[in-house]
């Protein structure tokens, strides 16, 4: 079986919902480390477009009044949290001797908003293709570990996105100070 067939079979299975998101991510990582990408050039253009379209789509799904209210009530808390996460990430990057641009991209993605923050900051830093890919992959792996871990380590935090599950996280409340998080 050639790599194109494996790629399409994996893509169909991952997109079908037959396996969980973390399992699909793990399978993609294994594939990426084991085989060359069969559509390397085409995927660069497509992934750049899809990332931008996803960010715009996220914006359309936001309630502007909620954003302003949350921003007003949690501005200082948010600014301090982002600053701390950025400084901690840059410190860890320096400790592990990670190159400056990927270290800043990973720290930004971790501190702010994952892949969309990396997509916004990468062009400003003139990040190369490999730096962007490594940074996005790192942040996505960190997220896939953090999402279920947050649910189990902080059981009182919950969004109103439906019934609790191991992957339900307090994303909606991340911009508010801790004392305003609703309790169940």
User: pLDDT tier at 170 (50, 70, 90 boundaries)?
Assistant: very low
Encode pLDDT of 20-45 as tens digits.
877 887 888 888 888 888 887 787 77
126: region left, alpha or beta (phi > 0 left; psi from -120 to 50 alpha): left
Residues 75 and 135 reside in one and the same domain? yes
User: pLDDT tier at 162 (50, 70, 90 boundaries)?
Assistant: very low
Q: Report the domain count for the chain.
A: 2
3-state secondary structure 60-106: HCCCHHHHHHHHHHHHHHHHHHHHHHHHHHHHHHHHCCCCHHHHHHH
Q: Residue 11: which domain range?
A: 1-38
Range among 24-28, 55-59, 133-137 with highest mean pLDDT value: 133-137
Residues 158 and 173 reside in one and the same domain? yes
CA angle 62, 53, 134 (to 5 degrees): 105
Residues 19 and 45 reside in one and the same domain? no
Residues 57 and 119 reside in one and the same domain? yes
Residues 54 and 109 reside in one and the same domain? yes
Encode pLDDT of 80-129 as tens digits.
999 999 999 999 999 999 999 999 999 999 998 788 889 889 889 999 88
């Amino acid at each position: 079986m050639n790599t194109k067939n494996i790629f399409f079979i994996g893509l169909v299975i991952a997109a079908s919902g037959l396996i969980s998101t973390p399992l699909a991510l793990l399978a993609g990582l294994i594939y990426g480390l084991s085989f060359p990408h069969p559509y390397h050039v085409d995927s660069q253009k497509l992934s750049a477009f899809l990332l931008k379209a996803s960010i715009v789509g996220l914006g359309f799904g936001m309630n502007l009044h909620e954003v302003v209210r949350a921003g007003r009530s949690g501005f200082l808390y948010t600014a301090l949290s982002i600053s701390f996460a950025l400084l901690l990430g840059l410190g860890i990057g320096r400790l592990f001797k990670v190159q400056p641009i990927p270290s800043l991209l990973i720290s930004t993605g971790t501190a702010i908003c994952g892949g969309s923050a990396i997509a916004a900051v990468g062009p400003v830093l003139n990040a190369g293709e490999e730096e962007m890919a490594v940074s996005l992959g790192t942040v996505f792996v960190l997220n896939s570990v953090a999402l279920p871990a947050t649910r189990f380590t902080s059981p009182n935090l919950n969004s109103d996105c439906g019934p609790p599950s191991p992957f339900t996280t307090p994303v909606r409340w991340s911009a508010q100070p801790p004392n305003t998080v609703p309790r169940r």
